[in-house]
Each structure stands twice: as structure tokens, then as C-alpha cells.
Chain A
Amino acid sequence: MKILKKIIIGLLAIVAMASCTLEREDYTEISPDNFPQSENDLKLAVNSLYYEFTTGTWNGEAIFGSDQNGYQVVSDMTTDCLWSCWGWGWDELHFQQWFSTISGTTQSQAYNAFAHYQFLSKARNTIRRIEESIAPESAKTLYAAEAHALRGWIGLYLYDMFGPVPVASDEVLDDPETFVYLPRLTDEEYDLMMETDLRAAIADLPVVASARGRMTQGAAMMILMKYYLIRSNFSGAEELARELQEMEGSVYSLQPDYANVFSKAGIGNNEIILQVPCNSSANWTTNYLTASVLPSDMPWTEKSQGWGGYVMPWNFYDSFEADDARRALIAASYTNNKGELMTSTNSTQLSYGALPLKYGKDPEMTGANSGIDVVVYRYSDVLLTLAECIVRNTGAVSTEAIQLVNRVRNRAGLAELSAEQVASTDAFMDALLIERGHEFWLEGLRRQDLIRFGKYVEYANQRIAEANASGKNYFTVDESHNRFWIPQTFIDESKSQIKQNSGY
């Protein structure tokens, strides 16, 4: 029995040893006790916010993707300036044949777009973490301002597509496990949020960013200006446009050559106010807009690959003046790699429209990956917006407004606006809308421009009528299409606190 005793004592000893704390280790995790603290931590925290604005992969839901999730693509594809030869999912957008009930491409696109409202919370929490950190005040001010600007950027796109969305208060964010069913903000509440974020950003952001792609004062002003335009606050927009205009020469300028703005050599040119910087080596930072257009048999760069889908409808192409330098970037035909001339008679893609190859050749393009930055906002928009606001605010066509438009026209190698075009505000506005279309195709501004000018639905119905004349059976659309419907999933989740946009 002595031995037994020893064994029992031994066992007890082992047991005692074992009852100390059990530990789990994972070296890939960072504890909130250690982050964010330093200036570099703040930078890293804000860097992760920028991920929301990447070009994504083909199947991703990136805001600057070139598929139906891409803000710019949706904004142009639903208008007269962009189409695709890929069939249904794209026709659904181009002819605005979307429904809020049946599943379809546009359904998942709308879902992904609305889901970005989560970013408002993410940015808000990041701002609070920055404010609570022990980093130097200067760093806190700078990075909080960047986060404010990014929050405003998403805020703009959400309002643009859906109108006001629900936004969680700090109390709700602090208790994520409690389900609070939030209604949408009112327009006034949303205005306040946008003003607060973007004014804070404008106040504290640098005029020139430390690296291309980071938020600047000008970018924040541009975002707020766009928001004002949607909200029909044209005096606010004019004010910001003028402030931006004052930065001409010192910060921004109108590039002499239109094509250069979108070329490899022109990366980082000072006409651009906001861009998504690209790097062709990573799938999520690649400009796919070239590949989406480029026919697979069209010679381009050594290792490029084209997906051959997007086109500019012929009607839109034909609306350009023949000597417009901007039209030179749009191919009406091409010689393929077998030496055959491809035109609208022997190429499916060209039968749909011309090839809007706005972005230049990147010799390092491999596959579909081009490294030329995606342009978001640029200075010529400031000039045209200012012209528009002057006329809208005064109700008269001023010399200043005419000159602003003419600067943009001259740069494109065109003559000044004709006497007829400046004869009345209506004529001027019609000319301005055409000018904006010719200037900004493939940049995702067309949808809001048409809505602002009251033409979005009208033009869609023209396309629908034409298509129906050649055998399609599309339904006509109404003004409710100026906003997308809110995906039912979010309405259900909110226990119907979220109210659907009217008309759906």
C-alpha cells in the first residue's frame, strides 16, 4: 500500500500542476490593449479604411470594381453613355429593367452597394479610437480628418444611390450585441452628418497629400460639392467650386492634353483631385476598365488580355463633334491580331457600340490588370460645375459661365459655344449636359448629371422604346428610378423600420 500512496501523491501533484491557467496563443492576432497607440498605428488603422475603395476582384463587391458592383460602372451603364455586349445582367442595368423582388444581377449589386453603409460605423469607430489614443495630437488631427473624409465619401455614394440610409449612434455602436432596428435618417439629419464629417476633413486635411491616393482638402471639398449638387444646394456647391478654383495653379490645373490625364505618363497629374491609385501587381488595386472594354483579339500591350464587353452606344458616340479630341480615345473599329478590320458588321461587340478605351496603354499590363489610376474627380468638373451653379443660382447665362465651359471645350480642340447655345439658360444647360457627357464618359458621373438635369428616366425610356421596336419587351420606367430600391433583406432585418424608396 505504500506504493499506492506514492502513486496517489504523484497523481495529485500532476493534477495540481495542471490546474494552472490554460493558455491559447495566436501570433497573427493583435490585442486591443496594444492598438492603436502610436502615430504609425493611426496610419495603419486609417489605411485599413481605404480598403473599402479598392477596385476589387472580378467577383468582389468593390466600389471601384468594373463589374456591376462598381459605382462608376453602374452610374454609366444605366445611362446613354455605356453598354455591354454581355447580355442580360448588363441589359438589365442599361435598360433599367430591375425589380426589387426577383433575384438577379442587379439585385445582388444593390445588396452589395447598400451593405457599404456599414462603413459609416467602421469609420466612426476608427475616428473614436483615434481620438482616444495616446498618439501625438497632430497625428490624431490628421488621421481623424482622413477618416472623416472617407466616411463622407461613402456617405455620398450611399445617398446618391439610395437616399438617406440608417446610421448608428455611438451608443448603438458600443453595444453591438443589442439589436437596434434603425430607421433611415431624415434628409436633414443626413445633411448634418455629411456637413460634420466633411467640414472636419476640409479643416484639417493637407492641401497636398503625403502620398497619392490619400485624402486631401480638395478631395473632401469635391465630395461635399457633389453632395450639395444631389441635394440641389447650388449655392453651397458654387461656394466650394470657387474655393477649389482658387487652388488653380498652386494645386490643380487643366491639363493641356485630355488623353494625358488618363495615360500611364499622366499618373498623378494635377488635374486629378481624387483618384483610386492603382498597382497592377495586386488584383484588388488594378484598373480593370480597360480590360472590360478591350476585345480579346485587339492588339494592345504585350501581355494584356481583353474581356471584350463594354461599349459606348453608337448614338452617344455619334453625338460627338468630329474634331473632338476626346472622341479620339473611342475606337469605332480596330484591326485584330490576324490583321482583319473589325467593324460593327463583323464584330458582336462593335455592333453594340464603339470602344471607350479611355485609359491609355500600360506596358506593364498583364492579363486584365492595368496599373493606371482610376480617376474619380478632376478639375474640369470644378469648372463645369461652377458654370452650372452660376447659371442655376442667378437664372442667367453669365460670361463667366460661358468662359468656364469654353475652357473645357478649347482643351478638347473644340470651338467656343455657339451663340445659340448661350442664348438662353435652357439652351446653355442643354449644351452643358452634352459637354459633361463628352467630358466625363466612363468616369461614373453621368447618372447623377442626368438625374440633376431631369433626363435620367427620359433617356432610359427612349432606349427602351428603341429596343422594343426591335423586338424586346421591356417595361417603361418612371422617376422612382432616380433612386435604387433598398434590398428587401435590409428592410426585413430592420423589422420594417427601414422604409422602401417610393415607387418600388
Chain B
Amino acid sequence: MKNIERISKRVGLFLSLLLVSSFSMMAQSIQVQGVVKDKSGEGIIGATVVVKGTANGTVTDINGNFILPSVQPDVLISVSFIGYITQEKNASSSMEFILAEDTKSLDEVVVVGYGTTSKTNISGAVSTVKTDELPKAAAASVGTMLRGRSSGMNITASSASPGASLNIAIRGGLSGQQPLIVIDGVPQLQTKTPSSGTAYSGADKDNALMNLNPDDIETINILKDASAASIYGSDASGGVILITTKRGKSAVPEISYSGSTAFQYIKDVPDFMNARDFMIEQNKVFDELGRGNEKKFTQEQIDSFVGNGTDWMKEVTRTGIVNEHNLSVNGGSEKTRYLFSTGLYDHKGVAKNNDMNRITGRINLDQDFGNNIKAGINTSFAQIKYHDVPLGDSRQDNSALIYSAMTFIPVVPVYDENGNYSDNYIRPNIYPNPVSLLEITDETISRDLFLSGYLEFKPIKDLTVRATGGTDMKDTQMDQYIPTTTPKGKNMNGQASKQNSKAQMNLINVVATYKKTFADKHDLSVMSGWEYKKTSWSGMGIVASNFPTDGSLMNNIGTSEQENPDISSSKGSNEMASYMGRINYSLLQRYILTLNLRVDGSSNFSQNHQWGYFPGASVAWRLNEESWLKNVGWLSNMKLRAGYGQTGNAGNLTGINTIFAVSRGTYAMDGGLVNGIGLSKIGNPNLKWEKLTDINVGLDFGFWRDRLSGTIDIYQRTREDVIVSKQLMSYQEINTIDYNSATQYQSQGIDLGIHSVNILSKDFEWSTDINLSYYRNRTTKRDPDFIPEPYQDYVEDWNNIYGYRTSGLVQDGESYTHLPSSTAGAILYDDLNSYKLDENGERMRDSEGRYIRVEGADGTLDAVDMVLLHNSTPIPFSVNNTFRWKNWDANIYLYGSLRGWKLNDVQYQSIYGVQDLTYGVNALSDVKNRWSYENPTGTLPGVAEANSGINPNSSDFFYEKAWYLRLDNVSLGYTFPNKLFGGYVKSARAYVAARNVYVFTPYNGMDPETGNGIGAYPNQSSIAFGLNFKF
């Protein structure tokens, strides 16, 4: 809050100075009233109107009208608006400006890495997302907002918890790397937030985009193919996301506020049994197991049980609330431009005690020194605080919050008669009471300071030399305390953990750009640069247990009585140096050529393999500029593109050296732990860069003055020299080594994006965006040592799911030789194939070393019986509809995947573990549909399955179709007429938005996107109310 105060004070001071200066001139001034229109006579909203040479100015309202209250009569009034030619006129009391379209400047500027270019001159696969167009309510990270917004970029959340990590896969994610994120020309340090404790942990956190306030972002450019991304060389194998933050403009200060409040409600809660059903089913299971004598409940107890027992999910969850406030000021004079912003995002999760809070601040400053020198600074700060709850699928004493809430015995109340947490008395001291887990303290605070500055110098007219220095500092502190009120804490007498990790990236680069147009038809731009980057990290931590009291939590760790508390620390660094260059040439704005080269040197490789060369080349042909198409009225844009490029990847490699490492407490000599040192890695000095090669062909089109426009890209990406941890013979001391394998991966796909303005009239607008991606990732070549499984093809799709086929359940009286341990009620796995044997009875192999299988049962269930069951490669798809009717606006947004297969985890774990009912572990109501002698028509496996010796997750039994379409946003907004605020407010909008309203899917488990495992954080629907103001 202090930040906000400071900024508002400064702004206030600035405003009053302005007022004073205008008062002094009041004597001779006039009031200028005017209107700004386009050629068709429509008023232009938001055009900048200034008195030339001063900061005195305003912006036009929704009808294009403006008022300048006090202007000297002889000055020039200048009106500008993006996409139009700026007009200047002598001031008079009533003015009319009709702006002409500027065809050249209509051309958007696109950031392409170490420079910008105009959209027409782009020849690679680059897409742009404007954050204004994204619904922001109840979304902390720009990552969640980008879901489905760009074809070819598939973003999925692995958990629905606040601030959870996102997987960003550009073009199928073939490289296995997350995209490089570059903010205002400086790459962000990529780190991973370690888990705060050893016993329990929350969901993985979003480290990529969480520290950016979405409100600060102007545009996002995505370099999808290597012909464009190769300028970032070895860092770019996962694609590049270039983020440009908002900057100050030479105008009167503009203050923007946006705020929203959202309420979140749990959306998917699986149907677990209530107390009575639980008791009935438990008794049945005892009978089915032939252990009827051990029943825990008499019929009388069941009949007399009052109520439904404890709904544990209800006990540990609540209505979530998200509050968000953003305030920014931007403005400047002709020489100085500034932007200050601050934001607060506070999220109380739907799980009790689970919070996330983010404070962000930003200062972007640009200053011109004379005509040739310019400098600027970008500073951003983010602090994110999390309070986590234990999550995950661990069982028994390690059970986490949601898992416990689903499975804890429903017949006991939260507290027993002594006021202590009730225990599962059927099997005491093992399963944690879900509510007791809320007493765990688990805090993470991460701070990020991102600083960059540049100095730009134009020694001659067309040459710009720009030096940039940047640093990104991240510091994360993680604290955890498990009190003695939880079973785990009780065993350890309390456990405290404090972990700290620091990381820093320092970067410097110098880039020279020469841009010139020769003879009005040759556009040439040449860039050349050098960069150096050093990344360093360090960390330390301590985990101790055995505390005299819970009272100090983890804040007095010295009071631990533990003999050997776990202490750790680490430190390291690596360096990279690079050269890069680019030539962009365009003839007649019709034929475009771009050439890139990046040379990277990394300390991760040995001297002779240190340098990698990453070229990129692309061409484009703007057909609509050809004379034979120029006069085709309905064709407004037609650009054919083709590109080739390479990026690199250092893999997940940790070095080329053979090293020994200390292992702590290897053995308890004399009862005390001693350390040991053993070989931990064998180095491979011959390691070299992985290479990704892209071929991309694309078409950009626009019809009817771009009322219908779109982009299609077809690509092939090949990943070679893949650095993998090669499995050496299992008898070797260290049986893995990093090496460049002969394995080749390949991705082929199509990205399609369509934008259509369906209706465009003065009062009503409706536009639709559709994005669709289709791809296949395959392994196309294998390492010579690789032996495929009998069911595996040599060329194999990445997302194949293999397993046994099943034919329902084994029925009473049936027995199968291939299922010697399966009795009635167990899953009937199919014995489909057998090994081909030679004359000696030995299994035969084919030329690839794979066992040959032949159709026909052989009386055993083994690897040859596994077959390709499904393929789960997603087909990301999204549809966005925006509407405007007079001052009203609305948005309906759907995203999802048109294909998917997923194990129904909740059902699988409930049914498979049905015997655990005897321990007092609750299960899904579905278990009532299990097979038993009493219920021989049951379709789900009975108690016999657990004895089959086969895990049903390696079969098709619990797999379900999991395509989905999420109705992610439905919002309605109203922009207030300016008159309402008497001109003091430039714009004001109020809106209501419903987020994650519904998921269309055939999948019966939890959320098809985030519902991974039985203890997954429940996904939520939200309703948000928000306000935006500009002064």
C-alpha cells in the first residue's frame, strides 16, 4: 500500500504543477471544443489531442469529441491516433479533424528478438497476443490467460490450486523444454521453486509467468518456429515468448485503475459414500473376503446411525475469494516518458488455509538525451506469498489434505468427546484426520527483482547501437512446520523445515541495427550483436524434528532435540556467450527474406564442443501486392511464408565431468551416522548440443478488408543428437551417462488461427476467433541399443497408451489359465498373443531385437498381450466470441482439447483398493457397483481383483475418453458514457464475469485437465465483479 500512496502523491504533485502553469496563462486563453472522425465520419475514440509543444492535452471520448478548456488562440493543436496520419491545425474554439488512415503505420510493430520489425516484413511463424483482449478476472498469471489464445501453443495446468504450475508446450513440446520468456529484451531467469518441506508439499508452482502482473503487459509475441526463434539459439528450443510491457507516452499523465473481486466455488467433488453406506459396504466387504466375523458394525448400529456422518470435503474447503487491484500512471514530456504501476492480487483458495498473495511494482522510464541518445530503465518487483496445504496422492500416514478428505472414515465426527481430532479407530494412529492437516504451516515467499537498462545511440542516421544490461534476482524462502496434532507430527515430535534458494542471472548485450530503405523499394535491416550471460545459484536448508513445543513453529529451530538434523547447502554457476546477426530484406514490400545466425558458447560443454551454430532462414511472398492481385477488391492480404531454422538444447544436462559426491549418513557405524563419498556421475567430454531443425510453411490471409483473416502454418520439427541419459549395462558402477543418442524425434503439425468480424455496425460488433492445432510427436529413429517391447513399433507415437485389453469380469465358476490368481469378480484380462518360439523353444527376436509375437492365446498374460489401447495426443482448440452493443460488451470463451484419454483415477483407486474399506478407508459410491456373489451383475471389479497380481492401470479397464471443452469465460461489461463523470474520467467500465462455468466432457473422473490423481485440488467455478477506470 505504501507504494500506491507514494505514486499517488507524486502524481498529485505533478497535476498541481500543471494546474498552476495553466492558470498563469488563463487571461488570453480560449476553450477549444472539437471532434475527431475517420473518413467514413465515425468518431474516433481515444485519439490523443495535445497543444503542440506542451503537455496540455486530452483524449477523445466515445463519440470522438474533446474539450481543451484553456488554450492560447495561436497555438497548433495536434491530433494523433494509432493507424492514422497525425494532423495539426491552428486552434479555434470549434474544430473538426478528419484523420486519414496511415497504411504504413497500420502495420503493427512486432518484437522479434534483438529488435523489432513490421508485421508485413515478417517471414517466420510469429504470433501476437494483445493482453487487452484477454479476460483478466480471477487470473493471476498471464499464462492462464493465454490458454488457447494462440494456435500452436498449448498451455495446461496440472493442478487447480492457486498459483499452480503451467505446462507451456509450443508446437507439441517436442524439445521437452519450457519456452524462453524474454521481458523487454532480457530473458527471465528460469528457476524451479523447491518444495518447502520433506514430509508434505503443495502443488508445483508457476515459476514462469507468475511474477509478472498481467496488467503491465502490452503485447506478447510468440516465436513458434526455429526460423524466427533461432536468434535465441540454444535457449530457444521450447520456443520463445517475448513480452513487452507497457511504457509511458508523451502525453498528460493517465491514471488507470482496475480491480475485481471473485468468488470461487468447488466444481468437481467426486461422490464418496456417506457414513451409512460406508458401514453397509464395509460389512459386505468383510463378508466377501470371508472374514464376516470381523465386522465392525452391527445392523443395529447402522440402523440407529443419525445423519450422514462427516462430510470431510466440506470440513476442509470453503468459498474462495480473489481480490485484485491494479493502479498505474503513465505519461511524460517529449523527452521523458514514464510508467509506474503497482498491483495486488490476493487469492484465498477453496481449500481452507490455502492462500496466495502477490504484490507487484514496476517503473519503466525512457529519457532522450538530444536527438541521438536515448536511455531507459525497466524495473519490476514481485513478491509472492503462498500458504500451501499438503497435496498429493500419498497414502496412509502420508495422506495429504484432499486425499484424506476423500478417504477418511465418515462415521466419526471432526473432534472426539475430549476435543481432540478423531482418529480412525478401526486402524488407529495411521490415517491423519483431514482437519488436523489444516494445522500445518507451510509458507513460501518468493521475491523477484528484475532490472534492466539500455542505452541507445544513433551515430549516423540509419544506425542504432543499443547496449542492454539486465539482472534478474530471485530469492525464495520456504518454511514448514508439522505440529504434533497431526499423526506425522506426533511421530516426529514436530518437524520444522526452513529452505532458502537464491538465483541470479546477469546479462549484457550490445546490438547494432542498420535500417534503410534504398530507392523506395529495397527495405534493408541488418542486426549484429554480442551477448554474455551468467547464471548463478545457491541455497541452504535445514529440516529438524523433535521439538519441546509446537508454539514457535519453525521459528526457533535451535530448540530441536534431534540428533542428526538434515542440513544442506549448495552453490554453482554457469556462463554463456553468444554472437548473433540478422538480415531482413524486403523488395517492394512484396518479396521478403530473413536470415538469422546465432553462435552460442556454453560452459556446460567441454572446450572442443563449446560452440554451437544456430541458423535460420525464411522467405515470404506477399501475393496481394502483385499487380495481378492488387485490384482484387475482396483480397486484402495474402502472404505465403516458408522457413527453415535450427535451435539448440543443452538438454537437462548437468555437466561433462566425472564426479564424486558426498552422501550423508550412509551407515550407522557404532550407531552414529557417518558420511561416504561415492562416484556419482561419469562424464562424457564428447557431448555436444542437441539440434532442433524446423521446416515451416505458412499462409496469412485476409479477405474483405480483413473482416475475415487468419493464419495457417504447417510444420515439421526434428530433434536430433538428443542428449539423454543413456542406460549403460546394469552391472556398471554408474549405469547411466549423458550422451547424444542416435534417437530422433519428430513433430508434424498444423496450426490454424482464424479471426472473423462477423458483424460490424455502429452499434453492434461481433467477432470470433478460432484456434486449432493438430500435431503428432513421434520417435522416428532409435538408438542402436534400443530394443522395442513386443507391442511397440519402431516408429512410435509419443502419446500411445499400451496395456491389456479386458473383457469385463471373471464370472462365478469361470477360471482362466492365464489368470491363475483371479477368481470371480476380478478383471478378465485378454490373453491375445504368444511369443514365437524356435525349434529349441527359445523366444525368437526380429531384426530389431524385439520378441516376435503371434496371435493366439498361450495361457500366460505377459508383455506380448499388451496392445496399443489409445493415443492421447491433445488437439488444442478454442473459440472466442466478443460482442459489443453500444456501451455494452460481452465475451464467451471456450477452450479445450478435442482428443484425450485418461485413467479415471478416482474410480481406479477406489475400486482397486476396495479391501481398504476394512481398514475404515472410504471409497467412491461407485464401489457399490462392484461384483460380488450378492451382486453378480456388478460391472466393477470385486474384492478378488486385488489378489490377481495384475495392476489394472496397465489395462484399458479404467481408461475413459477425456476430450473436453471448458466454458472458461462468460462476461458482460458496460462502459459508462463520459458525460456521466463530467469529463474527469476518461473511461470507466464495470463488468461481471463467470469463469470456468462448465466443462463439456465424456470423462467421469475429476477435471479432465487438472484432476490428476485422487487427491487433486478440486477445480473451481468463479463469479467475478470488476471495475476499470482511466483518469
Contacts and interface: CB of A to CB of B under 8 A. Distances in A.
B671 A279 contact: yes
Given A47-B676, A49-B676, A296 B428 contact: yes
A249 interface: no
B672 A348 contact: no
B427 interface: yes
A87 B915 contact: yes
B668 A48 contact: no
Given A18-B530, A24-B603, A102-B949, A31 B667 contact: no
Interface in B390-443: 397, 427-430
Contacts of A367: 491-492
Nearest to A490: B730
B831 to A, nearest CB: 11
Contact of B665 (A103, A180, A213, A285): A285
Given A7-B512, A303-B491, 17 more contacts: A21-B607, A22-B576, A24-B603, A28-B572, A30-B661, A41-B677, A45-B677, A47-B667, A105-B949, A118-B732, A177-B728, A179-B729, A211-B669, A212-B671, A213-B669, A296-B427, A305-B429
Given A15-B530, A22-B577, A27-B570, A7 B459 contact: yes
Interface in A459-504: 471, 473, 475, 490, 492-493, 495-496
A24 B428 contact: no
5 contacts: A11-B510, A30-B659, A53-B667, A282-B673, A296-B428
B115 interface: no
The secondary structure that dominates the A interface is loop
A188 to B, nearest CB: 20
B209 interface: no
A281 B564 contact: yes
A278 B670 CA distance: 8
A102 B860 contact: yes
Nearest to A11: B510
Interface in A202-225: 211-214
A182 interface: yes
Contact of A166 (B607, B684, B731, B734): B731
A492 B729 CA distance: 11
Contact of A121 (B665, B731, B821): B731
A277 B667 contact: yes
Interface in B567-582: 570-577, 579
A168 B947 contact: no
A31 B674 contact: no
A453 interface: no
B954 interface: yes
A301 to B, nearest CB: 12
B99 interface: no
A496 B842 CA distance: 10
B731 A103 contact: no
A120 interface: yes
A238 B662 CA distance: 41
B915 to A, nearest CB: 7
A473 to B, nearest CB: 7
A495 B668 contact: no
B492 to A, nearest CB: 7
Interface in B648-665: 654-655, 657-663, 665
Contact of B655 (A26, A87, A475): A26
Interface string B482-498: 00000000111100000
A103 B949 contact: yes
B676 A88 contact: no
Contacts of A373: 671
A118 B735 contact: yes
Contacts of B861: 101-102
B460 interface: yes
A104 interface: yes
A233 to B, nearest CB: 26
B946 A103 contact: no
Q: Pick the 6 closest A-B CB pairs, nearest first.
A: A48-B676, A47-B676, A48-B678, A367-B491, A22-B603, A26-B572
A24 B655 contact: yes
B512 A47 contact: no
Given A31-B657, A117-B731, A285 B673 contact: yes
A25 B562 contact: no
Interface string B726-757: 00111111110101000000000000000000
A147 to B, nearest CB: 12
Given A4-B463, A103-B954, A366-B492, A212 B860 contact: no
A87 B610 CA distance: 57
Given A11-B512, A22-B602, A366-B491, A87 B947 contact: yes
A155 interface: no
B660 A103 contact: no
A166 B731 CA distance: 8
A177 B654 CA distance: 18
Nearest to A345: B293
B675 interface: yes
B862 A101 contact: yes
Interface string B700-731: 00000000000000000000000000001111
A194 B785 CA distance: 32
A122 B733 contact: yes
B500 interface: no
B162 interface: no
Contacts of B856: none
A105 B823 CA distance: 19
Contacts of B660: 29-32, 35
Interface string A105-132: 1000000000101101110010000000
Contact of A278 (B610, B654, B668, B728): B668
B547 to A, nearest CB: 13
Contacts of B659: 29-32
Nearest to A22: B603
Contacts of A30: 659-662, 677
A176 interface: yes
B463 A11 contact: no
B682 interface: yes
A279 B730 contact: no
Nearest to A368: B491
Contact of B732 (A168, A212, A496): A168
Contacts of A267: 671
B852 interface: no
Contact of B733 (A36, A125, A281, A284): A125
Interface in A296-314: 296-297, 303, 305
Given A47-B667, A267-B671, A366 B493 contact: yes
B9 interface: no
Nearest to B735: A118
Interface in B503-553: 510, 512, 530, 532
A419 interface: no
A380 interface: no
Contact of B661 (A1, A29, A179, A277): A29
Contacts of B820: 97, 99, 473, 475
Most buried by A among B532, B673, B677, B728: B677
Most buried by A among B575, B602, B674, B732: B732
Interface string A60-102: 0000000000000000000000000001100110000101011
Most buried by A among B576, B679, B680: B679
A51 B663 contact: yes
A22 B575 contact: yes
Contacts of A180: 729
B862 A102 contact: yes
A325 interface: no
Contacts of A26: 570-572, 654-655
A485 to B, nearest CB: 13
Contact of A173 (B570, B732, B946): B732
Contacts of B607: 21
Interface in B556-613: 562-564, 570-577, 579, 601-604, 607, 610
Given A30-B659, A348-B291, A176 B737 contact: yes
